[in-house]
Amino acid sequence: MLLIIISSGSGCDEETRYGPRADIYNLSLSFLDTSGNDLVKGLEYGWRGLSDGTEQSDWYWWPADTTIAVNGGIVSPKLYTLRIKTSTVSVKFLHPLPTSLGGTPKMNLLTDIATQGYYWLNFGAYSEMKHGFPDSIVFALACPYVFGDDKVHEIATWWRRGPCGYNRDAICYRIEVDGKEFPVEKLDTGSNPLTVTNFATIILDR
C-alpha cells in the first residue's frame, strides 16, 4: 500500500512571491456618555462620489444621524487626528486617505441598520511579519466631537496573533482609554452579516 503524505506547511511564511505577509490590527470602538447617549452619532462622515477624480469635491459629507442607505463611511478628516504613539515594532495604518484629503489615516464610522442607529468608529493598522509582532500598540486620537475637548487621548491596546492565513487578523484582548480599561467583545450586528470583533464600548465621563 502506498502512503502519500502531503505537507501544507505553516501557512504563515513571512514572505511570498507577492510580497511580505502582515499582521492586521483592526479596532472598533463605540463611545457613550454616562447616561448611555451615543457620542458618535451625528459625527460628519462621507462617501466617495461616482466620479473618477480624486479631489475633495468628489466626496460627499453628511452627519451620522442622516437616513441613508449605506452602513457608514469615512469620518471627515477635518474632525480628528489619529496617529500611532508607541509600538514595539514598525506599525503603519491601513489605507491613508488621498493627499487631497490631507493623507490622514482613515477612520471609518460604521452603523448597523439592524440595530437601528448604533454607531461606532473603526480603524486599522498592520505590521509586516518579518519585523516581529507587537504585544501592544498605543494609538493617539483627538476628536472634539466625541471626547468633548481638544486633547489627545491615548488608546492602549494589547494583541495576540490570530490564525494563519495569507495575512493574520490579530486578536485584541485588552483595551485602555486614558488609563481606564474596558472589556473587549464581539459585536452582535443582528441580521447584518458584518462580523465585528476587537470591539469595545467606551464610557466617557461626559
Domain that holds residue 151: 21-203
Q: How far is it, in rounded angstroms, from Cα 202 to Cα 59? A: 29
Say which range, 3-17, 153-167, 178-192, has the weakest mean pLDDT: 3-17
User: In this structure, is residue 145 part of a structural domain?
Assistant: yes
Within a 13 Å sphere around the CA of 58, how many CA atoms are in the beta-carbon half? 11
Q: Is residue 2 part of a domain?
A: no
Q: Looking at the predicted structure, is the pLDDT value of residue 173 above 80?
A: yes
State yes or no: pLDDT of 193 exceeds 80: no
pLDDT of 202 over the 70 cut? yes
Select the more confidently predicted residue: 137 or 54: 137
User: For residue 73, is it within any domain?
Assistant: yes
Give the tens place of pLDDT for each residue, 126-137.
998 888 899 899
Would residue 15 count as lying in a domain?
no
Q: What's the domain count of the chain? A: 1
* More confident: 110 or 152: 152
In a domain, 163, yes or no: yes
Q: pTM for this structure?
A: 0.80
> What tens digit of pLDDT does each residue of 24-41 get?
999 999 999 999 999 998
